[in-house]
Amino acid sequence: MKLMRVGAPGQERPALLDTSGVIRDLSGVVPDIGGEVLLPQGLQALRALDHTRLPALDAGLRVGPCVGRIGKFICIGLNYSDHAAESGMPIPNEPIVFSKWLSSVVGPNDDVRIPRASEKTDWEVELGVVIGQGGAYIREEDAMAHVAGFCVINDVSERSYQLERGGSWDKGKGCDTFGPIGPWLVTSDEVADPHALDMWLDVDGHRYQNGNTRHMIFKVPQLVAYLSQFMSLQPGDVISTGTPPGVGMGIKPTPVFLRAGQRMRLGIQGLGEQSQFTVAS
């Protein structure tokens, strides 16, 4: 299934995209795409519905973040060997973990606001993992049973805040609008291999990122198991799993960063596409 949320910010209703491309209203069935709805039994109940009998929604409605009531937005840094190389950083021995604040979450086509005085706002197309069945101390061999599905994430980053201002990476990662998620949560039964997906990102029509999830250093089961050693994972938690090469910071000889008035387009094979316009804060 391709689950989604549509409507004005803060007023999104749960929906699904049926096999004919029609957006179907789920608001009479579930309160949101989040929480217990993402448990295995909740997803199975949605699969069992006759989707053709659900009300159709206007295709022109705004698409919101595909997960509601997110509990934790957890990110992994330097998780692609080729991205680590372009960043001039060693391949990590363990996953690098940081967070994006929930106030960063926006829809896949919402504007991205460049922070005031920012000169190094950057892009990162990433595979998002959405937790279904929660748990702690999850074994790697059991980890995929805890995954509800996958989505596209743009891990927008302000590099000077992240790397030049001291402290943790978080201050450069969680600015408002720095976490576009969606358009869909594609349930895991429809993703044959999350480690064989092409991914790309353009800025103003120029292709900067062109990668594949097979280059992940730490695969999805490893990440789920690893993170669950330090925190319980809960339904609706989102894990952003790292980016391939081609970020603005890595461009040689002169890095390229975002400015107001530009258009980002990005996508992952089978998971849909995003498009954001950058604006000044």
Q: What is the 3-state secondary structure (H, E, C) of 222-246?
A: HHHHHHCCCCCECCCCEEECCCCCC
Distance CA 16, CA 30 (A): 11
Q: What is the pLDDT of residues 119-178, one digit of tens each?
A: 999 999 999 999 999 999 999 999 999 999 999 999 999 999 988 887 788 888 999 999
pLDDT of residue 169: 82
- Inform me whether the pLDDT recorded for 76 exceeds 80: yes
Rounded mean pLDDT of 231-260?
96
Distance CA 195, CA 211 (A): 11
Q: How many helices (H) and strands (E) does the chain have?
A: 4, 18
- pTM for this prediction: 0.96
Rounded mean pLDDT of 228-245?
97
- CA-to-CA separations, 191 to 53, 144, 272, in angstroms, rounded: 25, 12, 12
Q: Which two tokens stand for residue 111?
A: 């504007």
Give the start-to-end residue ranges of the domains of the chain: 69-280
Rounded mean pLDDT of 253-262?
97
pLDDT of residue 269: 98
Distance CA 18, CA 76 (A): 32
- Inform me whether the pLDDT recorded for 186 exceeds 90: yes
**CATH number assigned to the domain covering 69-280:** 3.90.850.10
- Give me the residues paired with residue 234 across strands: none
